């Protein structure tokens, strides 16, 4: 609902055992130099410099290459960003080969899995920073807890020639933060402790949203694994039923399979995650 990514679809996964320079040449039409690629990750600056403004008379193949480069920058700089915010992992590039197929992936659940894993790592006592799609986390907080959100001054008009936007567009308006005590932890705790109402994802929030923001809502309540290549994170709506408009009872104990949190991409350059996580994909 916030950023309009589909949550129902094919699993975002694949193999990392590929010749990445060859993949770049095949799908982007260019081969990055030794300083432009770091293992399995590509520098975003190389992408922006190699794909400037698209020529008005560009052919179909050039348009597709520019589109892949643009989506890669969105992936590396926003949706699946890491601590090194100037690189994007090339494992996502093969998924963009056929745009008809790319649109059928469950990008939303993969993005949420990525955020959950980054939040888990940031909770460690020795963690000093955090990464991931933090704009998604921030906007979720502003939508769910109005006393934290900035005061909106002016609602920007929407161009009727464009398709209806997701909820995220509301936070492009002009707003003021001076009336809110920012960075005051005690005040935030005070408000949260005294929170008596909670606004669930009810139908009145869906008014005016395009269909792609609520597509797949029948599976919002499923207890299922969220998958993004090496990441497996469990979706447990039974523990936050008020968020979905239900009465919350005492949730049953659950196994988050902590061993999965030890699985990362370091040293795993030749793994087919479709096979490695086959059981979770089937589930």
Mean pLDDT calculated for residue range 125-140: 91
Given a cut of 60, is residue 133 above it in pLDDT? yes
User: In the structure encoding, which two tokens stand for residue 124, read together?
Assistant: 């460690």
pLDDT-based confidence at 114, cuts 50/70/90? very high
Of 75-79, 100-104, 168-172, which range is least confident? 168-172
With beta carbons less than 8 A apart as the criterion, state whether 24 and 93 touch.
yes
Question: How high is the pLDDT of residue 196?
Answer: 75
| CB-based contacts of 85-89 (< 8 A; 24+ apart in sequence) | 85/44, 85/131, 86/43, 86/44, 86/45, 87/38, 87/41, 87/42, 87/43, 87/44, 88/41, 88/42, 88/44, 88/47, 89/40, 89/41, 89/42, 89/265
**pLDDT, tens digit, 9 for 90 and up, residues 223-235:** 999 999 999 999 9
**For residues 237, 277, 1 and 120, what is the CA-based torsion angle, rounded to 10 degrees?**
70
Burial of 7 (0-12, 13-18, 19+ CB in 10 A): buried
Task: State yes or no: pLDDT of 187 exceeds 60.
Answer: yes
Compute the C-alpha angle 221/121/192, nearest 5°: 60
Domain definitions of the chain by residue range: 20-105
| pTM for this predicted structure | 0.90
Asked if pLDDT for residue 162 goes beyond 80, the answer is no
- Per residue in 32-86, pLDDT (tens digit) is 999 999 989 999 999 999 999 999 999 999 999 999 999 999 999 999 998 877 9
What value does the mean pLDDT take over residues 84-92? Answer: 91
DSSP state of 91: G
Structure confidence at residue 182 (pLDDT): 58
Indicate if the pLDDT at residue 147 is higher than 90.
no
Within the chain, residue ranges assigned H as helices are 20-28, 44-50, 60-74, 99-102, 107-122, 134-144, 185-193, 211-214, 273-276, 278-282
- Cβ burial, residue 253 (10 Å; 0-12/13-18/19+): exposed
Going 225 to 228 to 231 to 236, the CA torsion angle's sign is negative
pLDDT for position 221: 86
Arithmetic mean of pLDDT over the chain: 88
Question: What's the count of helices (H) and strands (E) in the chain, helices before strands?
Answer: 10, 7
pLDDT band, very low/low/confident/very high, at 179 (cuts 50, 70, 90): low
User: What does DSSP assign to residue 10?
Assistant: B
84-114 b/e (C-beta count within 10 Å ≥ 16 → b) = eeebbbbbbbbbbeeeeebeebbbbbbbbbb
| pLDDT value, residue 143 | 83
Alpha carbon distance 196, 138 (integer Å) = 21
3-state secondary structure 217-249: HHHCCCCEEEEECCEEEEECHHHCHHHHCCCCC
The Cβ of residue 127 has, within 10 Å, a number of other Cβ atoms equal to 11
Query: What number is the average pLDDT over the span 87-91?
Result: 95
């Amino acid at each position: 609902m916030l950023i309009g990514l589909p949550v129902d679809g094919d699993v975002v996964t694949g193999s990392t055992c590929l010749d990445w320079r060859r993949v770049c040449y095949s799908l982007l039409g260019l081969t990055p130099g030794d300083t432009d690629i770091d293992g399995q990750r590509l520098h975003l600056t190389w992408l922006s410099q190699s794909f400037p403004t698209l020529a008005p008379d560009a052919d179909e193949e050039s348009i597709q290459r520019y589109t892949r480069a643009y989506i890669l920058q969105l992936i590396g700089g926003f949706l699946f960003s890491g601590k090194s915010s100037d690189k994007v992992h090339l494992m996502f590039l093969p998924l963009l080969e056929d745009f008809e197929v790319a649109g059928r992936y469950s990008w939303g659940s993969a993005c949420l899995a990525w955020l959950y894993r980054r939040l888990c790592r940031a909770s460690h006592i020795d963690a000093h920073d955090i990464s991931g799609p933090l704009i998604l986390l921030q906007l979720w907080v502003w939508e769910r807890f109005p006393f934290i959100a900035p005061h909106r001054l002016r609602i920007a008009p929407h161009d009727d020639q464009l398709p209806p936007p997701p909820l995220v567009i509301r936070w492009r308006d002009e707003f003021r933060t001076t009336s809110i005590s920012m960075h005051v932890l005690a005040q935030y705790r005070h408000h949260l402790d005294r929170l008596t109402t909670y606004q669930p994802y009810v139908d009145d929030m869906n008014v005016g949203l395009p269909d792609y923001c609520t597509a797949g809502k029948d599976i919002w309540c499923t207890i299922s694994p969220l998958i993004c290549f090496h990441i497996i994170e469990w979706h447990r709506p039974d523990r936050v039923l008020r968020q979905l408009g239900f009465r919350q009872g005492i949730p049953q104990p659950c196994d988050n399979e902590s061993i999965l949190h030890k699985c990362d991409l370091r040293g795993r350059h030749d793994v087919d995650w479709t096979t490695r996580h086959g059981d979770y994909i089937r589930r």
